[in-house]
């Protein structure tokens, strides 16, 4: 009996080794281990044996069965591994050939900077407010405490429109509009297009972009403004960049200031960019003039506030080392492509 079973295993092995697919293996399995197999019929025979011989006989059949199963599994593994190997190197591949890109485009550098500024201020708890480019004397000048004979109202400075109105010279107009509509507390930035009658040159453009910030609440001080400016400077330009303010004059702020940041190029030691001063002028700032509040019906005894304005073109030129403002408005693809990925 034992010999017969050994022979059976041998026979099964030779059958199994020629199998080239899983299906072949299933057929062989049925042949040797299935219901109609020789092995299976032996189980039935066991009943006829004396009970003392049964365990040994049973063990023998089980061992045979296990042998065949192992052989099947081994061959199955071999078939799979063979298939995997084949699927791996079907053809020669030159991995140095170019990969497939998605042909993505890109944002304009001014938008990249604007989004960065939005993000910084949104993160600092500001909201973004917008207003019309075409505005009037009240919102652009009167409400901002600008005297009627102030030089900025000149045709040489401000674009006026046929049929009335003007093109805003700063986005402070939005601050006026927000204060007209919403009671304090107010914490906004107003980004947008501004217009001044300047001939285009490396640092001027009749159309440019600004972001202004306005904070109005109880207990807002110049110190809060300095705090915000230094936060903005260090987030926007790097943690080592500091800011300072110097006395200046604007009709709508009192006290007024110009703000500088330490030179992002030389770090303050002096270079061509900062004209060897170590500082770069960033924009105007100041505490909202009580007159502005009075005009807009906000109690200036209860509320104080600060405002500051930043030029987006200027920041972009500084960050990306762009020498001429006009480059930004040529929309040359060779310029635009340099800023793909929207990194700053």
Partner 1 sequence: MKISISWLAKYLEIKENTKELEELLTFSGIEVEAVQNIPALPETVFSAQVISAEPVPKTDHLKLCLVDIGNYPYPEKTPEGYLQVICGAPNCKTGMMAVIALPGSTLADITIKKAKIKGIESNGMLCSEKELGISDNHSGIIELEPDTPIGRSVNELYELPDTVFELEITPNRPDLLGYIGIARDLSAKLGRPLKLPEIDIPVAKCRAETMPLELINKVPELCPRYIARLFDKVKVKESPLWLKSALIKSGLRPINNLVDITNYVMLEYGHPLHCFDYEKLASLPDKPGIPAIVIRQAYKDEPITTLDGKNYILEGEEMVIADGIKPSAIAGIMGGNISAISENTKRIVLESAAFDPRSIRRTSYKLKISSDSSYRFERHLSECSAPDASLRASQFICELADAELCEVVYDNYPVPEKSLILGVRPSRYAKVIGYELEEEKIKDYLQRLGLKFLRYGIWKPGKITNISEIRELDSETLKQKNTALQNQEKAHYYLIPPKRVDLEREIDIIEEIARLDGYDKAPVKTKPQHIMDRHSYRIKKVAVDYLVSRGFYETLNYSFSEPELMRKLGYQESDYELDMIFLKNPQSSNQSAMRTSLIPQLLQNLAYNLNRDEKNIKLFELGKTYHRQETISYEPYYLAAILTGLNKDEHWQDKASPINVFWVKGIVEELLSLLHLENWTVQEAKKPYLSQSESAAYYLDNKELAYYGKLTAPVAENFDIDLIELKQDIWIVQFSMENLIVATHNLEIQYQEIPRLPSVIRDISFLISEEIPYSKIVKTIAEVDDKMITDIIAFDEYRGKQIPNGKRSLTLRLKIRDKEKTLTDERVDYLVDSVIKKLENTWKITMR
Q: Tell me how far apart the alpha carbons of residues 313 and 208 are, in angstroms, rounded to a whole number.
A: 7
Alpha-carbon separation of residue 313 from 15, 132, 164, 203 (angstroms): 80, 20, 29, 9
Q: What are phi and psi of 48, to 5 degrees?
A: -80, -15
State the minimum distance, in angstroms, from the CB of residue 130 to partner 1: 7
Nearest alpha carbon to residue 216 among 194, 188, 247, 238: 188
The β-bridge partners of 247 are: 257
CB neighbour burial string for 78-114, b if at least 16 within 10 angstroms, e if fewer: ebeeeeeeeeeeeeeeeeeeeeeeeeeeeeebbebbb
- Shorter beta-carbon distance to partner 1: residue 34 or 123: 123
State the minimum distance, in angstroms, from the CB of residue 231 to partner 1: 19
State the minimum distance, in angstroms, from the CB of residue 209 to partner 1: 8
Nearest alpha carbon to residue 298 among 185, 220, 145: 185
- Shorter beta-carbon distance to partner 1: residue 110 or 282: 110
- Shorter beta-carbon distance to partner 1: residue 163 or 247: 163
State the minimum distance, in angstroms, from the CB of residue 229 to partner 1: 22
State the minimum distance, in angstroms, from the CB of residue 202 to partner 1: 17
Which residues are at the interface with partner 1 (CB under 8 A)? 97-98, 100-108, 110-111, 127-130, 132-134, 155, 159-163, 165, 167, 178, 182, 185-188, 193, 195, 197, 199, 206-207, 217, 328-334, 336-337
Mapping DSSP to helix (H, G, I), strand (E, B) and coil, where does residue 123 land?
helix
- Angle at which helix 312-320 crosses helix 109-123, to 10 degrees, equals 110
- Shorter beta-carbon distance to partner 1: residue 248 or 344: 344
- Shorter beta-carbon distance to partner 1: residue 6 or 181: 181
Containing 23, the helix (H) or strand (E) segment is: helix 22-33
State the minimum distance, in angstroms, from the CB of residue 309 to partner 1: 18
Mapping DSSP to helix (H, G, I), strand (E, B) and coil, where does residue 276 land?
coil
State the minimum distance, in angstroms, from the CB of residue 224 to partner 1: 14
- Shorter beta-carbon distance to partner 1: residue 23 or 102: 102
Q: Is 3 exposed, middle or buried (0-12, 13-18, 19+ CB in 10 A)?
A: exposed
Q: Tell me how far apart the alpha carbons of residues 306 and 147 are, in angstroms, rounded to a whole number.
A: 20
Contact 244, 260 (CB under 8 A): yes
- Shorter beta-carbon distance to partner 1: residue 233 or 325: 325
- Shorter beta-carbon distance to partner 1: residue 215 or 236: 215
State the minimum distance, in angstroms, from the CB of residue 242 to partner 1: 29
Q: Tell me how far apart the alpha carbons of residues 93 and 342 are, in angstroms, rounded to a whole number.
A: 33
């Amino acid at each position: 009996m034992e010999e017969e079973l050994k022979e059976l295993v041998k026979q099964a092995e030779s059958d199994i080794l020629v199998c080239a697919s899983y299906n072949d293996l299933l057929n062989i399995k049925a042949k040797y281990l299935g219901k109609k197999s020789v092995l299976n019929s032996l189980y039935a025979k066991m009943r006829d044996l004396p009970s003392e011989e049964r365990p040994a006989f049973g063990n023998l059949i089980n061992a045979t069965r296990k042998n065949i199963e192992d052989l099947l599994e081994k061959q199955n593994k071999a078939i799979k591994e063979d298939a995997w190997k084949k699927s791996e190197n079907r053809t020669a591949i030159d991995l140095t050939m170019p990969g497939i890109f998605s042909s993505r485009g890109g944002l304009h550098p001014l938008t990249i900077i604007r989004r960065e500024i939005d993000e910084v201020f949104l993160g600092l708890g500001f909201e973004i407010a917008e207003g019309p480019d075409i505005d009037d004397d009240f919102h652009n000048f009167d409400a901002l405490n600008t005297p009627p004979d102030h030089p900025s109202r000149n045709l040489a400075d401000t674009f006026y429109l046929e049929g009335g109105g003007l093109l805003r010279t700063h986005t402070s107009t939005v601050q006026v509009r927000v204060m007209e509509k919403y009671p304090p507390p107010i914490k906004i930035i107003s980004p947008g297009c501004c217009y001044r009658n300047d001939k285009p040159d490396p640092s001027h453009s009749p159309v440019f972009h600004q972001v202004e910030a306005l904070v109005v609440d109880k207990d807002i001080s110049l110190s809060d403004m300095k705090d915000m400016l230094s936060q903005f400077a260090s987030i926007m330009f790097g943690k080592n960049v500091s800011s300072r303010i110097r006395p200046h004059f604007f009709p709508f702020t009192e006290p007024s200031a110009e703000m500088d940041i330490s030179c992002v190029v030389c770090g303050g030691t002096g270079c061509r960019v900062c004209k060897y001063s170590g500082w770069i002028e960033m924009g105007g700032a100041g505490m909202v003039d009580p007159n502005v509040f009075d005009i807009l019906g906000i109690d200036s005894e209860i509320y104080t506030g600060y405002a500051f304005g930043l030029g987006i073109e200027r920041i972009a030129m500084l960050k990306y080392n762009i020498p001429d403002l006009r480059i930004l408005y040529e929309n040359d693809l060779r310029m635009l492509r340099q800023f793909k990925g929207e990194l700053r």
